[in-house]
Structure 1
């Protein structure tokens, strides 16, 4: 935790959203006020496709960082006239265009794609490396699959499945502070360089998709 910042967020990897469901918070007045105000933002959500907290966090950020900005108002109009996931993607792209490539905004930091503390492991077919991966995100018990017997490559697989990285079954009762006796299956321990290269290739794809989504902005604004 960098003491310069009260709140640290990170870019989601598989799209251009700021991750709203996981963040690091310093116990400060700024953080309490920020999160309290954001928790009440549901009263301002549009009637159409709003993306819940994942959608709202972008406009909330922009209003905090650039209050009264005309470009933000344009993105706001897009948000309040979004009716499907494509519209919502265009809206988030609109906001990210205003934020630019910066990471630091006063008391807030938004870590760049691939540098955060959590990763959806479907992006690399369940392969991970302890030198780069701290947390793996997106697991649901009903989506747990048997690890394939063939050699896995660090490429995207279906997002609604995951493999157990432990050498044995997951026993929740053993998940307590102080237990460091974890044994991992070597079959899911991937080469860091290969994982990084695969993720970079995927990041390029996402960036191109974001650019394409911006072409939808004029359609939304012209047909509210």
Structure 2
């Protein structure tokens, strides 16, 4: 998933969201990645005003012409942020510790003790879960399996109803699930490190 946000109802948050909404007028003409691309430079400007490294990342952002360029740009911004996660009014959750994730990363397997919300389910992409044993590996991102023991009845989704029966075939051990997600995160970080090699090429664009 591109990203998800929880915002506290406060004057700071209202001003922040209003300013971010207006940032739409500043999007580059090339590959900008919509809100996911914009939030990176927007946050960097907020948290590191006048930073020369941010200015370099901004130049890359406005010269991005494809998804690889955009990935290099987000990697540039993440380099500015470093490993820090707490910025006072703003906190950035570490990978695997947020409230939502894509379940295709683990072939639809999940655990109610660590997964609060699973993202990206569309009715037209619902598939019957296969008969074979599922493995904790990524599958196609455009499909998902019903985690319930029976059919999904939207009318039963109301406040106070917590009596859900889950399909045991899609429940995974929490530790094994965490290990699988961490392994995938390592692979993504390695790919991003390779993509950072594009930075000089992008900066040379006119």
TM-score scaled by structure 1? 0.90
Aligned to 2:140: 158
Matches within 5 A, 1:14-163: 19=3, 22-163=4-145
Aligned to 1:208: 190
Runs of 4+ deviating beyond 2 Å:
none
TM-score scaled by structure 2? 0.97
Greater shift in the superposed pair: 88-97 or 172-181: 172-181
Mapped partners of 2:193, 2:173: distance in 1? 31
Mapped partners of 2:134, 2:71: distance in 1? 31
How far off is 1:103 after superposition?
A: 0.4
Name which of 159, 178, 186 aligns with 1:177: 159
Q: Which has the higher helix share?
A: 2
Mapped partners of 1:197, 1:127: distance in 2? 13
Mapped partners of 1:207, 1:68: distance in 2? 27
* Gap regions ≥5 residues in structure 1: 1-11
Mapped partners of 2:121, 2:38: distance in 1? 24
Aligned length: 206
* Partner secondary structure for residue 63 of structure 2: coil
* Gap regions ≥5 residues in structure 2: none
Aligned Cα RMSD in Å?
Answer: 1.0
After superposition, what is the alpha-carbon deviation per residue over 1:21-51, rounded to whole angstroms, capped at 9, x for unaligned?
x211111111010011101111000000001
